[in-house]
Each structure stands twice: as C-alpha cells, then as structure tokens.
Amino acid sequence: MRAVVQRVSRASVQVDGETVGAIGRGLLVLLAVATTDGDEDVAWMVRKLSGLRIFPDDEGRLNRSVQEVGGAILLVSQFTLYGDARRGRRPSFTRSASGEKAQELYEAVAAGLRELGLTVAQGRFGAHMDVELVNDGPVTLLLSSEGEF
C-alpha cells in the first residue's frame, strides 16, 4: 500500500461538480492498493496515518498527530501511485490491485481510521475526481507499507 500524505489547511474532492468530501485542517491522503496487499497493510497504514507526527506543537516542532490536533482525513483512492514509467512513455499499472480488491482495502483503511475516532471524508472510488487543497507548510510525505520509502 502506498500513500501520498499532505498536511492541509483544507481540502475537498468533487465529482461532476458535486463536493463529495471536504475537510478543514488535517491530512489529504492519496491511497493506492497493490495486488499483494492485505489486512496487515491496512493495519499498518491506519497506524501510520493516525500517529504520524507532522503537526506543530507549541514550540513549532512537528510533534503532534492528526488525532492530537483534532484534525480530519480526506481519503482519496489513487491507483496511479503504482504506475511504473521506467520504460517507454506509457506507465504500467500491473502492481495496482483490481478494482474490487482495491475498493475493499481502501474502505477498510477508512473504517479503521474511523474506529480510532477520526473524522474521515472520502472521494468516490473509481470516479474521475477534482481534488483541491491548500498544502500547509508545505508538508508532503510518501508512505509505503512495503518499506519502499
């Protein structure tokens, strides 16, 4: 499982001009599921996202998690994070999970975050989405349950 995590002041996602998910302060998470991912990857991602200390404390150090600051998460499916463009000009997506599996694990991440008491807004799985955000910092991180980065 891979994620691009952006600390945001606000973020939203629209489908056909309709806002389907929006948050204020928190994290915008673009999430991709690999063919080899399973429950352990879901648990890892939930732990990492909920505990990631990328919000400033009273001294300005990145010492607080999204939970600690009362932030929310906007979770957006993003299969293209597994795009491999090392050869040719068209990326290969063979490492991306099938739609059914990807949606199941994507929903499991959202549910796991909600179980921890986090507010989670979502994009619409499989839809063409317009994502808007104000990146706070900017702070952007790459996460991988496989330890790639």
Instruction: Please identify which residue in the block is written with the tokens 């673009």.
Output: 30
80 is a catalytic site residue: yes
Q: Which amino acid is at 149?
A: F
Give the architecture (CATH level 2) of 2-143.
3-Layer(bba) Sandwich (3.50)
Q: Which of 78, 103, 119, 140 is catalytic?
A: 78
Whether 14 sits among the annotated catalytic residues: the reply is: no
Q: Which of 45, 50, 99, 49 is nearest to 77 (CA)?
A: 99
Amino acid at 73: I
Confidence of residue 149 (pLDDT cuts 50, 70, 90): confident
The single residue of 19, 80, 94, 140 carrying the catalytic annotation is 80
Q: Which of 79, 94, 103, 140 is catalytic?
A: 79
- pLDDT tens digit string along 94-131? 999 999 999 999 999 999 999 999 999 999 999 999 99
55 flagged as catalytic:
no
Q: Using an 8 Å Cβ cutoff, are 70 and 26 in contact?
A: no
Query: pTM for the whole thing?
Result: 0.97
Name the pairing type of β-strands 130-144 and 62-64.
unpaired
| Residue 19 token pair | 């806002």
